[in-house]
Amino acid sequence: MTQNRPQVRKLVIDAREEGQRIDNFLIKQLPGVPKSHIYRLLRSGQVRVNGGRAKPERRLVSGDEVRIPPVRAADKGEAVRPPDAALNRLREAVLYEDEHYLALSKPAGWAAHAGSGLTYGVIEAVRAWERYAFLELCHRLDRDTSGVLLLAKSRSALLRAQHAFRQGEADKRYFALLLGRWRGEDRDVDAALLRDALVSGERRVRIDEDDGKPAKSRFSPRQKFRDAVLCEVRIFSGRTHQIRVHAAALGHPVAGDEKYGEHEANRPLRALGLKRMFLHAHFLGLPAAGPFPKLLLNAPLPEELRDVLDRLPRG
């Protein structure tokens, strides 16, 4: 198939697109282009808003003119349609739907969106159902984390959810199996987090009170075992890998976490059938706001994680 040479594009933002961050707008306008390249375009000033440079966090307003330079996604071609089995798997994962939102219990192993070598994620698969004129992720979950994932069916619903997340009004709770013998009851971790990139390109997050972003987590034990504890974790911010880094800082890494935990410490759990990280987003609540009623969403613990709990030795 003959490909046209990419051209400079100048797009005028309308009311439907108002409020978007420029980086998220570009990600949608340039499907198949790695996010790292999109941020490089912003840093180098090749993307312009009303003739001037724009930082990734800049929010667009109606009437803004966005200049997008010629960009070709190498070896991408047509968008990849997920296989029918994947589409059906997500249909079975629907937790809730109304006129504003669609909520799924995301299976572990699914990325929220395409990228990093993945041709599709949850958002691409659900769009392939071809049922929605508008559909966007309200937030994200790590690929290895299962549980409640909320998608918006309108721009106003998206902005309502994003506002709740940004202002700390969302109630986000996870179940996490932590390694080690837990002493006492609830523990709070209030430690700023900074995203790093190692020489190998692997993304990691570390505690850094000087340059990091504020992050707070509350760990509440729900079921104690001989060498582990099932905690409900409430997060008051939404930083990348927040629970995993905070849990490791407590000396109780998340079971199955090979990045922030220890390979040998996970060996007994693998013998009990744990084939993934034991982290599950089990509850999400949003307060009422304007025309949007209160939203309370629950995702039961997956069977493969319940089975591991049943096999754990008690002490």
Q: How many angstroms separate the first and last alpha carbons of the chain? A: 65
Let me know the angle formed at the C-alpha of 125 by 301 and 123, rounded to the nearest 5 degrees: 75
Rounded CA gap, 125 and 87, in Å? 6
Spatial contact of 237 and 188, defined as CB atoms under 8 Å apart: no
The token pair that represents 307 in the structure block: 């089975």
What region does 16 belong to: left with phi over 0, alpha with psi -120 to 50, or beta?
A: alpha
Whether 142 is catalytic is yes
What's the length of the chain? 315
Rounded CA gap, 110 and 66, in Å? 32
Rounded CA gap, 251 and 249, in Å? 5
In the chain, what's the furthest Cα-to-Cα distance? 67
Closest C-alpha to 229, from 174, 179, 304, 303: 179
Closest C-alpha to 111, from 78, 142, 69: 142
Selecting among 64, 142, 144, 257, the annotated active-site residue is 142
Which amino acid is it at 115?
A: G
Closest C-alpha to 150, from 142, 140, 165: 140
The token pair that represents 237 in the structure block: 């911010």
Spatial contact of 142 and 241, defined as CB atoms under 8 Å apart: yes
Rounded CA gap, 47 and 41, in Å? 6
Enzyme catalytic residues: 142
